[in-house]
Amino acid sequence: MARSATVFSCSACGHESPKWHGRCPGCGEWNSFVEEARPAPTARVGANGVKRSAGRALKPVPLAEVQAPAVARLCTGIGEFDRVLGGGLVPGSLVLIGGSPGIGKSTLTSGALGNLAGAGHEVLYVSGEESAAQVKLRAERLGGHALSVPIVAETDLEAVLATLETEKPDVCVVDSVQVLYDPALTGAPGSVGQVREVAGRIMRVAKELGIATMLVGHVTKEGSLAGPRVLEHLVDCVLSFEGERERTYRTLRALKNRFGSTNEVGVFEMADQGLVEVEDASERFVTEATRAPGSVVLCAMEGSRPLLVEVQALVAPSELVPPRRVANGVDRNRLALVLAVLARHGGVSLGTSDVFVSVAGGVRVDEPGADLAIALALASAAKGIEPAADKPLAAFGELGLTGELRHVAHADRRLTEAAKFGLDAVVRPGDGVRTLRQALRGAARAHAA
Ligand code: TYD
Ligand code: MG
């Protein structure tokens, strides 16, 4: 009997079997079997029966002698995108762009390819999800050079690879990696085995021919399930496109980047003509800040860029035990910590109230420097103090468990950004303000001034 070209192996213990099992006979794990292409036998057996490698020995080279020509990056023409990539696409690199459906991955990549085509680069758009006509409709909305991008609508991996080998574009987009399938594997498109095989083979072709490739991948709500998570180790760069579909603001951040920092964040807005870069996000958030009780402007850092965002809090009497704690854009545990410190060290006890905290505009802040702004917003919401000044209150700083205020990185840049928008009185850890109590008093003074 001919051996089948694929083998199923357990991703937990490595047990191999010619057919799929729901439960691994080796280790008893459920749902761990993944289909893989059967590797060709490579080992040869030496005289004494010991297996020897069939490969040829290589000569190690000291790193100092390795030739590394400086490569010019390919600019996508979308400033925020280029910045997150670390200054543009590196030729021959593999970039994974993950995000939930409808967030704007196809819009972003179509726009980038259009700009690259306009700059004279060879590009190719492989669409597995949408027909060529659908992609054309989007390109018409985007305008610019988007209509000059060549497209193939195909889901068969072999056909896509053959096209890449013939066309040899400089940049290629595969939208999405979950719908492509390798006919040699029996698994459904999007299964772990298929996604890994598809990405692995595209990577080999792309690296060999020097094609910068952007793989689009969907992330499920849990961020896993045969999703692009299995590819993270394989690609050079993992970008995550986040935001809520109902909100206009979207953020693009790098989770992994072999050619740049993972601190950069790009802010976009979805408009009628595609994604618009929001270069001065701070200005919008500050002018939109309500100046009402419960509103505080946080001087946050998004990577190397200061960003002013509005933190809003609402405190209302609760009929529930335990009362509600709802956090949007900030971590729930962080909110719990701030509430506890406020109760214990700030004299603001909210144990019988529902508490809602939200960062305006659908932005997410994940830094400890947000603590003080959350605490001040909660205190002002609880006490209902109307600010007398016409400017919103601004703050940043980390809260310690003993009620002390801790310094956070880039204080000077946060202050400069705040000053740019006329926010001179920023409550922060510093001279005279070392504890939460002092900060609360400082905030009350700023309000009264
Ligand atoms: P899309 O890029 O197709 O999302 P993804 O590829 O991540 O699934 O588009 C996302 C949404 O954006 C879609 O619902 C329609 C909307 N949109 C606009 O509002 N304006 C536009 O110009 C375009 C192209 C799309
Ligand atoms: Mg899409």
Evaluate the omega torsion of the peptide bond into residue 191 and state whether it is cis, within 30 degrees of 0. no
The pLDDT of residue 46 is 65
**How many Cβ atoms sit within 10 Å of the Cβ of residue 418?**
24
- What is the spatial order of strands in the sheet that 16-17 belongs to? 16-17, 6-10, 33-37
The pLDDT of residue 215 is 93
The pLDDT of residue 307 is 87
Distance (angstroms) between ligand 1 centre and the Cα of 449 equals 46
255: helix, coil or strand? strand
Look at ligand 1, atom 22, and give the residue with the nearest C-alpha: 274
Evaluate the omega torsion of the peptide bond into residue 91 and state whether it is cis, within 30 degrees of 0. no
- The series of mean pLDDT values per 10 residues for the chain, 449 residues long, is 73 81 85 77 66 83 85 90 92 91 91 94 94 93 90 94 95 92 84 86 93 88 52 88 76 87 82 84 81 89 83 92 91 94 92 92 84 94 74 90 92 89 87 89 72
- Using a 10 angstrom Cβ sphere, with 0-12 exposed, 13-18 middle and 19 or more buried, the burial of residue 413 is middle
Say how far apart CA 295 and CA 286 lie, in whole Å: 11
Question: For residue 90, what are the contacts with CB-CB under 8 A and spacing of at least 6?
Answer: 71, 73, 74, 212, 236, 259
Residue list, ligand 1 pocket, CB within 6 Å: 99, 101-107, 138, 141, 270, 272-274
Angle, in degrees to the nearest 10, between helices 436-448 and 332-345: 90
DSSP code string of 170-231: SEEEEE-TTT-B-TTS-SPTTSHHHHHHHHHHHHHHHHHHT-EEEEEEE--TTS-SSSGGGG
Distance (angstroms) between ligand 2 centre and the Cα of 153 equals 13
272: helix, coil or strand? coil
Of ligand 1's listed atoms, the one at least distance from the Cα of 107 is 2
Instruction: Give residues whose Cβ lies within 5 Å of ion ligand 2.
Output: 106
Distance (angstroms) between ligand 2 centre and the Cα of 129 equals 7
Ligand nearest to the CA of 128: 2
Rg (CA), the chain: 27
Predicted TM-score (pTM) of this structure: 0.76
Ligand nearest to the CA of 103: 1
Look at ligand 1, atom 2, and give the residue with the nearest C-alpha: 104
The pLDDT of residue 224 is 47
Check if the beta carbon of residue 336 is closer than 8 Å to that of residue 325.
Answer: yes
Question: For residue 105, what are the contacts with CB-CB under 8 A and spacing of at least 6?
Answer: 97, 99, 175, 176, 216, 241
Ligand nearest to the CA of 175: 2
The pLDDT of residue 226 is 42
Distance (angstroms) between ligand 1 centre and the Cα of 2 equals 48
